[in-house]
Amino acid sequence: MQLSMDKRNKITYHKSPFREYFNILSDVDKGSRNSKEFGSILILTLVEEIGEMARAYLAEHGRKKTNLAAQEDETYQQELGDILVSILRFARVKHINLHERIMYSLEKIRERQSKPKT
């Protein structure tokens, strides 16, 4: 992923399918992204969002019929968006090229399917 500065001294991300999101997050995380604790906060946020999505999904699909709070909160589709934003924020702060990581993981899946364990 190639980085450059635009006219307003903001980092722009080129040749990445995530550049629009990262540019928005540059403003969202301004001021806090350089703190030592920010990576830990983002990991905890991600875990929280995964729990919220699981709760909403299970409530909607009858596994937790009595969980009225989960049924009234956001849908699991909305929670999935929160999870993705949490991942984007962490990757941006830690300078992880998500496109490369995703392609690596997809290749691992492809290899496992072509060479099943015996």
Domains of the chain (ranges, CATH numbers): 36-114 (1.10.287)
Q: Does residue 10 surpass a pLDDT of 70?
A: no
Asked whether 73 and 60 are in contact (CB, 8 A), the reply is no
Residue 18 pLDDT greater than 60, yes or no: yes
Percent of the chain with pLDDT over 70: 76
Q: Which residues contact 21 (CB under 8 A, 6 or more apart)?
A: 85, 88
The phi, psi pair for 2, rounded to 5°, reads -100, 135
Listed residue (86, 92, 90) closest to 10, CA to CA: 92
Residue 2: pLDDT band (50, 70, 90) is very low
* Residue 3 · residue 11 · CB < 8 Å: yes
**pLDDT mean over 68-96:** 84
Among 27-31, 41-45, 70-74, 86-90, the minimum mean pLDDT is found in 70-74
Residue 116: pLDDT band with limits 50, 70, 90: confident
Residue 50: per-residue pLDDT: 95
Identify any residues that bridge with 98 across adjacent strands, giving them in sequence order: none
Pairwise CA distance, residues 42 & 37, whole Å? 9
